[in-house]
DNA sequence: CTGCTACTTGACAGATAGGCCAAATAGAAA
DNA sequence: TTTCTATTTGGCCTATCTGTCAAGTAGCAG
């Protein structure tokens, strides 16, 4: 179970989530689906940048998109990614002691 | 609680763990302290590379070192990082459905 | 002091990642 | 068809990350 390719896969998942903007996206989507524009309003920066973060999350099976008229809505496919927030917070707390 | 600097900090923790070798180090240390040489035997590659991974983990308060004669032993300071393995595995499982 | 073992640090090259602008595309409306 | 809105994709440039080799350091033995 604890073989090398296992660690490689886990590292990839972590890598995808290890970014401020992508964490914000996941956090927002954990409270329900929303459009790319909505996410840009929260995160700021160029719309194309947000779109690329979403493409990365989608490529890793973490989010899914749905088009309605001209708007694209994204939603979380793996709600368990929210557990990473708990884990990360725990590490931050534990090391501050 | 869910402000920007919070996400930045969490992303940094994730970033540090988002590497195959560093995950292997954490996994090994979760089963007890060991030397840099021991870790190189598990991970392979240059000793200096292992040492740099350890320096990064140490800089982020995840591991601690202790010297005994000429050997340096590392140990996990935040055992809760092991939870990331559970989280990552869960995401891998969830998205494969 | 010299040498040996076990690491660490510095320098540097190659690989990745992140962000912005501009151009392309999809769907709906005029 | 042309236009408008919402989003994606392609370049491109800069910044950060990784790994390797070489040189430096720490502790101990001879």
Domain ranges of chain B: 18-95
Q: How far B42 CA lies from chain A's nearest CA (Å)?
A: 10
Q: Structure tokens of B57?
A: 């983990």
Which candidate in A13, A26, A31, A93 is best for mutational testing of the B interface (most B CBs within 10 A)? A13
Q: Kindly report, residue by residue over A12-36, the tens digit of the pLDDT.
A: 999 999 999 999 999 999 999 999 9
- Compute CA distances B86 → A10, A26, A84, B69, whole Å: 10, 18, 10, 36
Cβ separation A87–B92 shorter than 8 A: no
Band of residue B2 on the pLDDT scale cut at 50, 70, 90: confident
A95, B78 in Cβ contact below 8 A? yes
What percentage of chain B has pLDDT greater than the value 70? 99
Q: Kindly report, residue by residue over A34-72, the tens digit of the pLDDT.
A: 999 999 999 999 999 999 999 999 999 999 999 999 999
Strands B63-68 and B71-76: antiparallel
Taking Cα atoms as reference points, which of B10, B19, B24 lies closest to residue B76?
A: B24
ipTM metric? 0.93
pLDDT value at A1 more than 70: no
What integer pLDDT is reported at residue B95 of this predicted model? 86
pLDDT value at B1 more than 70: no
Query: Quick one: average pLDDT of B18-40?
Result: 98
How many angstroms separate the CA atoms of B97 and B48, rounded? 40
Q: Which CATH fold would you assign to the domain B18-95? A: Arc Repressor Mutant, subunit A (1.10.10)
What average pLDDT does the structure give for chain B? 95
Cβ separation A80–B89 shorter than 8 A: no
pLDDT value at B34 more than 70: yes
Q: Kindly report, residue by residue over B48-72, the tens digit of the pLDDT.
A: 999 999 999 999 999 999 999 999 9
User: Domain A13-95 class?
Assistant: mainly alpha
Inter-chain Cβ pairs, chain A and chain B, closer than 8 A: 118
What integer pLDDT is reported at residue B30 of this predicted model? 97
């Amino acid at each position: 179970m604890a073989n090398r390719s296992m660690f490689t896969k886990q590292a990839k998942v972590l890598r995808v989530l290890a970014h401020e903007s992508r964490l914000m996206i996941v956090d927002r989507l954990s409270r329900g689906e929303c459009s790319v524009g909505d996410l840009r309003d929260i995160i700021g920066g160029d719309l194309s940048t947000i779109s690329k973060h979403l493409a990365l999350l989608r490529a890793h099976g973490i989010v899914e998109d749905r088009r309605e008229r001209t708007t694209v809505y994204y939603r979380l496919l793996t709600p368990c990614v929210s557990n990473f927030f708990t884990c990360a917070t725990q590490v931050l707390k534990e090391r501050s002691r």
